[in-house]
Chain A
Amino acid sequence: MTDQPLDAVFRTKEVSKIYDVGEIQVHALREVSVSLYEGELAVLLGPSGSGKSTFLNILGGLDHPTTGRVWFRQTELTTASDRALTRYRRDHVGFVFQFYNLVPSLTARENVQLVTDVARDPMRPEEALTLVGLDARMDHFPAQLSGGEQQRVAIARAVAKRPDVLLCDEPTGALDSKTGTTVLETLRHINDTFGTSTAVITHNAAIQQMAHRVIHFQDGRIDRIDQNETQIAPAEISW
């Protein structure tokens, strides 16, 4: 960790998440303690059901852990009120979701505007869409966009507020390698340009090569953490 900034943007301590499904209990996370650093691009890797999304949702203030504590910089998220969590999400977090989650009744521009309307110091929606190469499709509705284009709108929406952290849940899951690459390049570009701390979940082990660190999940626990001394550009990743 020599040339990594040592300030932790996220810190978790023995975070567990247990879902009660009828009689059985699902341990989605088991006492996870880890830190993510400022400006870092971390990849979360692991088999399906290993708890990656659950972990990311907790970092993003979308969900509460059953036990354990989570800090964003100096602020403890686990004791924050709902109102404070809403402010936190609005002011600091950019999300990119596994299923894009665009509002079908709003155009690309308006989907981005949904965020810029409430953010403190946002880009213009057009600017964000240009960043992801969608300047030509701004007034199209989600139904008129391809999957990759929708995902890029989702990314534009996430970055438009100039977030401190960018949390992406399988941003390339539904995409072919070419569009996947474009999306990853966008993320990398934003990480490089704005120094936004970024966490990306993926099933694709090849993607790990573009990260500073790779966090392996297994069965609700962190299995191991790999450090990449050098990062490959997304275009060079072999899918």
Chain B
Amino acid sequence: MMQAIDKKLLRDFGRLWAQGLAIALVLAAGITVIIMSIGMSRALNESREAYYAQNRFAHIFAGARRAPDSLARDIRAIPGVLEVETQVRGHATLDIPGRTKPASGHLISYDPARPPALNIPILRSGRWPERPGEVVVNEPFAEANDFRLGTVFSVNLNGRKREVRITGTALSPEFIYTIGPGALVPQNESYGILWLPHEVLDAAFNMDGAFSHVSLALLPGTQTDDVTDALDQLLKPYGGTSSFDRSLQQSNAFLDAEITQLEVLAYILPPVFLGISIFLVNLVVGRIVLLERAEIGLMKAIGYSSWDICLHYLMLAGLIALVGIAIGVVAGSWLAHATATLYARYFDFPFLVFGVPSSIYAASALLALAATSLGASRSAIHAARLAPAIAMSPPAPPNFRRSIFDRAIDAIGFSQPARMILRSLTRWPLRAATTLFGVALAVAILVASSFFPDAIDDIIDKAFYQSNRQDVLLLFDPDVPLSGIADVRRLPGVLQVEPQQYHAAILRHGHLEKRLAVSTVSPKNDLARVVDDAGSVVAPDATGLLISERLATALDVRVGDTITTTFETGLRETFEIPVSGVVIQYFGLGAYLDHEHLNRLFRQDPRMSTVNVTLADPIYPEAFEEAVKELPGVMGTIDMTQNRMSFSDTISQNILIVTTIYAILGSIITVGVCYNAARIQLSQRARELASLRILGFSKFDVAKVLVGEVMILVILAQPLGWWFGAEIARWMTEGFSSDLYAIPLVLKPSTYATASLIVLAAAVISTLIVARRLGQLDLIAVMKTRE
């Protein structure tokens, strides 16, 4: 049978349910974020690890212009190398029936006689290509284009068009996150991975007996640097581009960035929610203990130990935690699932370990219990320490000594209700401070989340409407002489053309190094410009490098320092180039050189690797596309208009989801804090408020006292919340920043205003709910109670 003291516990909890629920919701919000963020980051991580292990994802990757197959033996002999996989790879534009917009593909050779030993693709349907004219494409590309087995399209192989028939679809650990050159988000419709029979690529790229891509698996514990150095040495004579490890492999790097973001969320948000829960539990249990002094004394008098009493109140808080855990687990699992569905759209896993590990559930439950216990501990210990005889005598009335405040209040000559509000604020400073602080955190959460849309707007504006204003980008591979620009200008519908060069390079400063593409700009540029965070166009000076701020940080350089730049193109020379400027940018690690200067350094005739084009009709004209396909050397075209649209679409969808969730979280905090503050206030001041009623004040007047006090705190909390919010937003932007992208800190007055409005609305609603109780206040009963 249940112990009487436990029945008391359950009945007390039943009486407190609204307050308990308000706290439980805050707690649940914390648990939800923990389960979602840590759960999903673990899920992503574990799915990735399992996928990599099963499909033998390589550790080191490198490209070469044309390396003989015999070199594979030497590569395998590098100490620490476990396995070597050589392939022919290339790029091609694709011609898809019924599609006018450009599409391009990453081509990988497939030898049915010698299936890949590393980066093993998983066949999802059909079979591998066996003879020329057959192709296997990556599953997302097939799905986006509605391909079936047997669908035929053409590939422009080094200028020659070949029809291929789809025999199967596949996924690869190398392409979990697939973005084509120049794209910012996956565009599966226009970019595909194609596995073609090796003899087709050998012929097309003149690679018989040679390879252009190599992947290595290493023995556990091998120093990657030693291997990459040795590999670079071996590949150098064959036009090798310097090798890199997983951290620079595109798909893997994006996953890393996503996992980091989730972890940042997990570190920043849950502590806020748990902290507020601690404060609220502290307030509520403190109040209960005060009201139950006599019962505590009685229980001690009849032989319950201090520990029994302490536990009793800890368990009351524990029940709140249980409710919070239950809600949090349900909401967290749901959100984790929703996030997983979202991820499934961007990340191509053959399986995603969606399940949140049970250890995360357990850990978050323990955290919740720890938070409520901590919140209740002060009052529970106080209860346990009460001497039974003292406990049963009524508590000393609160110390109403006149303070400086009172004299100030008198001097200003406030009305009675206003005095009551001000007195109460100074008399129960802990409650006032808790309310203020809690509401400020609610505002902060909202500020810190709703700055995202503005940040993204800013990114889009800078990246697409100020920096990159071209409609189409033509990619040439390899570089072609600048004279080719005339051919581009002659294409149908072309308005403006602007050549640019990209050169893969390693930038070193001291022991720090970064690999990236150095691009050229010329002061005449109008389409592809470098724009700083203030929106003004900047350009490198005649002989120096203009670099992005994150690159400057990564290499620890300032304007005036020199960067050792090793180009992987042309003669593969190394130059000492001074930094002439640093610019704040949000995508990638940019480095820019003057066009003329680069040509001088390379001692070459002017060349171009891309041409930026604007069209008379930004809706891609078929005639233009047809003509481009005939142009020699074009590896691919990038439809920037399409790019802009899919980036905004993808991002704005995500942002809507994220900001909605945060708005809910912020409101939960506000309701939790304000409802409890008002309830406790009502309980502390029932007598006082009832006396006002007896003295002839209307219900409305009395409600004003109650609501007024909370609203004063809520209003005072706003500036503090704005400040916290800006700080949290700053932490988040710092935490989210990676080599791939950064998020600008854009805080507009409207961000602050929206956050404050949501919080004010939630505060008004929750205090009005409490104020309604004033109507039910039993005047006589209140006046007769001991307190």
Contacts and interface: CB of A to CB of B under 8 A. Distances in A.
Interface of A: 57, 60, 62-63, 82-83, 86-87, 89-91, 93, 95, 97, 99, 101, 103-106, 110-111, 113-115, 117-119, 157
B473 to A, nearest CB: 74
A119 B305 CA distance: 12
A115 B302 contact: yes
Nearest to A107: B7
Contacts of B8: 103, 105-106, 110, 114
Interface in B1-46: 3-5, 7-8, 11-12, 15
A57 B389 contact: yes
A86 B11 contact: no
B298 interface: yes
Contacts of B295: 101, 103-104
Given A105-B12, A114-B5, A95 B302 contact: yes
**Listed residue (B3, B302, B387) with the most chain A CB atoms within 10 angstroms of its CB:** B302
B301 A60 contact: yes
Nearest to A115: B302
Contacts of B7: 105-106, 110
Contacts of B301: 60, 62, 89, 95, 97, 101
A157 B303 CA distance: 12
B777 to A, nearest CB: 17
Contacts of B15: 105
A103 B7 CA distance: 11
B4 A101 contact: no
A101 B297 contact: yes
A40 B298 CA distance: 25
B306 interface: yes
Nearest to B299: A114
A101 B301 CA distance: 11
A130 to B, nearest CB: 18
Contacts of B306: 82, 86
Interface residues of B, number: 26
B303 A101 contact: no
B305 A86 contact: yes
B629 interface: no
Given A97-B392, A106-B8, A106-B11, A115 B303 contact: yes
Contacts of B428: none
Given A62-B388, A89-B301, A105-B8, 4 more contacts: A57-B389, A90-B304, A101-B298, A113-B4
Contact of B298 (A82, A103, A117, A118): A103
B303 A89 contact: yes
B294 interface: yes
Contact of B392 (A99, A105, A117): A99
A83 B307 CA distance: 10
B303 A91 contact: yes
A117 B305 contact: no
A87 B303 contact: yes
B302 A106 contact: no
A90 B297 CA distance: 13
A57 B389 CA distance: 7
A21 to B, nearest CB: 10
B160 to A, nearest CB: 87
Nearest to B11: A105
A47 to B, nearest CB: 19
A106 B11 CA distance: 8
A101 B305 contact: no
A106 B308 CA distance: 17
A157 B4 contact: no
Contact of A89 (B3, B302, B308): B302
Nearest to A92: B303
A103 B15 CA distance: 14
A118 B309 CA distance: 13
Contacts of B390: 63
A60 B11 CA distance: 29
Nearest to A119: B303
Contacts of A115: 302-303
**Listed residue (B15, B297, B305) with the most chain A CB atoms within 10 angstroms of its CB:** B305
A117 B389 contact: no
Contacts of A101: 294-295, 297-298, 301, 392
B66 interface: no
A63 B304 contact: no
Nearest to B385: A82
A117 B298 CA distance: 14
Contacts of A105: 7-8, 11-12, 15
Contacts of B11: 105-106
B431 interface: no
Contacts of A97: 298, 301, 392
B297 to A, nearest CB: 7
A65 to B, nearest CB: 12
A156 B298 CA distance: 15
A39 to B, nearest CB: 22
B388 A117 contact: no
Nearest to A160: B302
A83 B308 CA distance: 12
Given A86-B303, A118-B303, A118-B304, A63 B5 contact: no
B300 interface: yes
A90 B302 CA distance: 6
Nearest to B388: A62
Interface in B297-323: 297-306, 308
A103 B295 CA distance: 6
15 contacts: A60-B301, A62-B389, A63-B387, A63-B389, A86-B305, A89-B302, A89-B303, A95-B301, A97-B392, A103-B298, A105-B15, A106-B11, A111-B4, A115-B303, A118-B303
Q: Which 6 interchain pairs have the tightest Cβ spacing? A: A90-B303, A113-B4, A63-B389, A105-B11, A114-B4, A62-B389
Contacts of A110: 4, 7-8
A91 B302 CA distance: 9
A86 B392 contact: no
Contacts of B4: 106, 110-111, 113-114, 117
Interface string B572-601: 000000000000000000000000000000
A104 B387 CA distance: 21
Nearest to A141: B11
Nearest to B303: A90
**Listed residue (B15, B297, B387, B388) with the most chain A CB atoms within 10 angstroms of its CB:** B388
A212 to B, nearest CB: 25
Nearest to A112: B4
A87 B305 CA distance: 8
Contacts of A83: 305
Nearest to B302: A115
A93 B297 CA distance: 15
Contacts of A106: 4, 7-8, 11
A90 B304 CA distance: 7
Contacts of A113: 3-4
B242 to A, nearest CB: 73
**Listed residue (A60, A105, A113, A115) with the most chain B CB atoms within 10 angstroms of its CB:** A105
Contacts of B388: 57, 62-63, 89
A62 B7 CA distance: 25
Contacts of B305: 83, 86
A107 B11 CA distance: 11
A168 to B, nearest CB: 13
A95 B5 CA distance: 18
A57 B390 CA distance: 10
A222 B582 CA distance: 93
Contact of A86 (B3, B5, B294, B304): B304
A233 B5 CA distance: 37
A63 B12 CA distance: 28
A99 B304 CA distance: 19
B311 to A, nearest CB: 13
A94 to B, nearest CB: 8
A152 to B, nearest CB: 16
